[in-house]
Amino acid sequence: MGVTKTEIFTEQQNRIADLAKAFAHPARVAILQLLIARKACVCGDLVDELELAQATVSQHLKELKRIGIIQGEINPPRVCYCINPPVWEEARQAFGSILESFEGASCCN
């Protein structure tokens, strides 16, 4: 298996790629959509709502939290999650900048 050479890319390119990982799996997208729809922190309801195994939900929450797009508050025995607004805005600006930079028709038809 090859080694990813992240050091040859800029810090910004690496960060955008990391933010993209938040949207790179349908379960993560579903988690983000659920958190957005609730407009509040969600505590423990994700497994029931998503009909996924606890381990699967936990794995995706861990990745979303590592990226920073969600934040968690520990209130034993529960952890409550919500969108992290500054990082959400960072993602919006990063993806918007890339998507808006394309100005014309593709040369490939």
DSSP 3-state of 18: helix
Residue 108 lies in a domain: no
Under 8 Å between Cβ of 36 and 78: no
DSSP 3-state of 71: strand
- Residue pLDDT, tens place only, 47-106: 888 888 989 998 999 999 999 999 988 777 778 899 999 999 999 999 999 999 988 767
Structural domains counted in the chain: 1
> CA nearest 78: which of 54, 53, 51?
54
Q: What's the confidence (pLDDT) of residue 94?
A: 95
Checking if the pLDDT of 4 tops 60, the result is yes
Domain extent for 91? 11-97
Domain harbouring 70, CATH code: 1.10.10.10
Residue 109 lies in a domain: no
Q: How far apart are CA 72 and CA 58, in angstroms?
A: 12
Residue 6 lies in a domain: no
- Residue pLDDT, tens place only, 29-53: 999 999 999 888 887 778 888 888 9
